[in-house]
A and B are shown apart, each in its own frame.
Chain A
Amino acid sequence: GESVGLHLPTLSVQEGDNSIINCAYSNSASDYFIWYKQESGKGPQFIIDIRSNMDKRQGQRVTVLLNKTVKHLSLQIAATQPGDSAVYFCAENRGYSTLTFGKGTMLLVSP
């Protein structure tokens, strides 16, 4: 079936570097995408979202890019900090308020 997946299971960066986490989706009908951050022992936390009529959206230190042509989503974190260490999930909304989650990428930030 159609699914949302990630290219890299683990990403290790140095503090201060920029991080890029990627996600591929296969459902061309999806019109809304979300990035979540999940720290150990906690539930997923909303980071940023983007609708399919946009190709870029910026938040505080985070940017989400959407390329509908190749069905690719990325999360960019500027000046990565140790507190950014977590698992990051992309999710797509296929309608009816249900979300389908990608596999997740572990981000490890070294001081």
Chain B
Amino acid sequence: SAVISQKPSRDICQRGTSLTIQCQVDSQVTMMFWYRQQPGQSLTLIATANQGSEATYESGFVIDKFPISRPNLTFSTLTVSNMSPEDSSIYLCSLAGSKRDTQYFGPGTRLTVL
């Protein structure tokens, strides 16, 4: 199975700043996803990142707040813009399996906004 890595693994940021999270996969994948996991909560899908087209955002998430890049089939970034303490969460990237039904997750980025 593919190896998924994320950078940074954790960060503490000041409100009003932005953080870009990187997701690297060791093989080419068509579909990648970004999730948010607030403290003690479940996972919520932010957007689907497809190579060669704009990301598809879920209800409640907008591109201005969470811009996503997908420059190639092994890499994606998620930026959390103009951060507030409410953005403190774990951010996870995932990729779709070969049958596009199962997803496999990276280790996550733990973000704390002060």
Interface residues, chain A, with chain B CB atoms under 8 Å away = 32, 34, 36, 41-46, 49, 89, 93, 97-104
**Given A43-B92, A43-B107, A93 and B43 touching (CB < 8 A)?**
no
Main secondary structure of the interface of B (DSSP, over half): strand
Identify the closest chain A residue to B59 (Cβ): A1
Cβ–Cβ < 8 Å partners of B43 in chain A: 44, 89, 101
Q: Is the interface of A mostly helix, strand, loop or mixed?
A: strand
A32 to B101, Cβ gap below 8 A? yes
Contact A97 B105 (CB under 8 A): no
- Known A-B contacts A42-B108, A43-B106, A98-B48; the reply to A89 vs B42 at CB < 8 A is yes
C-alpha spacing A46/B103, complex, angstroms: 8
Residue of B with least CB distance to A98 = B45
Question: Roughly how many angstroms separate A32 CA and B96 CA in the complex, as a whole number?
Answer: 14
Complex Cα distance, B42 from A19, in Å, reads 21
The answer to whether B101 touches A97, judged by C-beta atoms less than 8 angstroms apart, is yes
CB distance from B68 to the nearest CB of A (A): 15
Q: Are B42 and A97 in contact (CB under 8 A)?
A: no
A43 lies within 8 A of B108 (CB): yes
Contact A102 B48 (CB under 8 A): no
What's the least CB distance linking B19 to chain A, in Å?
A: 18
A–B pairs, 10, beta carbons within 8 Å: A32-B101, A34-B103, A43-B106, A44-B43, A44-B92, A44-B105, A45-B105, A46-B103, A97-B31, A97-B48
Q: B61: CB under 8 A from chain A?
A: no
Interface string of B29-46 (1 = CB under 8 A from A): 001010000000111110
Contact with A along B76-105 (1 / 0, CB 8 A): 000000000000000010101000111111
**A44 CB, min distance to chain B CBs, angstroms:** 5
